[in-house]
Amino acid sequence: MKYPESSPVTWTDSYRVHSYHSDRFGKLRVNVIAAFLQESAWLHSNACGIGYRDLLEIGKMWILSGLKIAIKSYPVWGDNLTMNTWGNEYADPFAYRDFELIDDGGIQIIAGSTSWLLINADNHRPNRITAEYQKIPPRMHGSGSGKPERIPSFAPDGAEERRTANISDIDIYQHVNNAKYIEYCTDLIPIEFWDRKEIQTLTINYLSECLPGNLILFRTRWESENELFISAINESRGREVFRSVFSFRDRIPK
């Protein structure tokens, strides 16, 4: 396939870690990593002619299906970062996009991979990603994190919590933003745990949406001190929202 000259293979943005991006230890919060990636992915898609408005005009939209983040070291408040993101490959029904965050020294400190579905805006049914939607040239090269794996269903260990999807959680697609689910998950973990541990990797499979006012049930299972599975059920609609797995390591002082 011949790609238009306006289709950049790799998209690059600069981000600065501000105080409102930081946790209580001064480190970049993981949900903000997902937000940075989402912003750069949208900008890249726009530049290639398959962005939010381009697709909405023809009744289509991209939705995030899977996300994996691997954190080698955490940037801290005041750090300047370079985001590189690119299309990895098309493997219908998924389009894979990888990304990395680079520090001021040129070192990759965070790597990640995402999978996306192309859906109809009216009924949310998936479409094949045919040639007319493959306008981001695939590099066929991963960031090093590996692709977001399919997470099997699991039996919870008994711990359950509920929360309501609030209006501040809703994005332009009129549902809870994908980065918010990471924030929900971290809120489930006791503060004393975060004194000792930090996230090393996370994988999320996004399965369905939550709308304003929907009641969400969270179920957890600790496989070990360093591995936690979390799933969410939309009790208002009777659907599983996501499955996730977090791996932890001993907290590294900033």
Integer Cα distance of 247 and 254 in angstroms = 19
- Residue 207 sits at the vertex; the CA angle it makes with 100 and 15, to the nearest 5 degrees, is 25
Tokens 């260990």 correspond to 157
Dihedrals phi, psi of 166, to nearest 5 degrees: -95, 165
| CA distances (Å), origin 240, targets 140, 156, 169, 232 | 32, 14, 18, 6
Q: What is the pLDDT of residues 197-208, one digit of tens each?
A: 999 999 999 999
Q: What is the pLDDT of residues 103-144, one digit of tens each?
A: 999 999 999 999 999 999 888 899 999 999 999 999 999 999
Integer Cα distance of 170 and 16 in angstroms = 24
**Percent of the chain at pLDDT above 90?**
91
More confident residue, 3 or 199: 199
Instruction: Tell me the two tokens of residue 134.
Output: 């493959």
Chain-wide mean pLDDT for the chain?
Answer: 94
Q: What is the pLDDT of residues 42-53, one digit of tens each?
A: 999 999 999 999
Instruction: Return the pLDDT at 253.
Output: 83
Q: Is the dihedral of CA 208, 122, 44, 129 positive or negative?
A: positive
Mean pLDDT of all residues in 7-14: 91
Q: Kindly tell me if the per-residue pLDDT of 5 is higher than 70.
A: no
Q: Which residues contact 233 (CB under 8 A, 6 or more apart)?
A: 216, 217, 219, 239, 240, 241
- Residue spans of beta strands (DSSP E) within the chain: 10-16, 60-71, 80-91, 94-102, 108-120, 126-127, 160-164, 197-206, 215-224, 227-234, 239-250
**Percent of the chain at pLDDT above 70?**
97
Strand partners, 176: 170
The number of helices, as runs of H, and strands, as runs of E, in the chain is 4, 11
Integer Cα distance of 111 and 37 in angstroms = 11
Mean pLDDT of all residues in 178-187: 97
What does the DSSP 8-state code read for residue 132?
Answer: G
Q: What is the pLDDT of residues 47-103, one digit of tens each?
A: 999 999 999 999 999 999 999 999 999 999 999 999 999 999 999 899 999 999 999
Strand partners, 120: 60
Cβ–Cβ < 8 Å for 87, 96? yes
Domains and CATH numbers, the chain: 1-148 (3.10.129.10), 149-254 (3.10.129.10)
Instruction: Return the pLDDT at 252.
Output: 87
What region, left, alpha or beta, does residue 71 occupy, with left being phi > 0 and alpha being psi -120 to 50 degrees?
beta
Instruction: Return the pLDDT at 124.
Output: 87
More confident residue, 190 or 1: 190
- Residue 144 sits at the vertex; the CA angle it makes with 193 and 116, to the nearest 5 degrees, is 85
Residues in the chain: 254
Secondary structure (DSSP) of 16-72: E--GGGB-TTSBBPHHHHHHHHHHHHHHHHHHTT-SHHHHHTTTEEEEEEEEEEEES
Instruction: Tell me the two tokens of residue 230.
Output: 């979390």
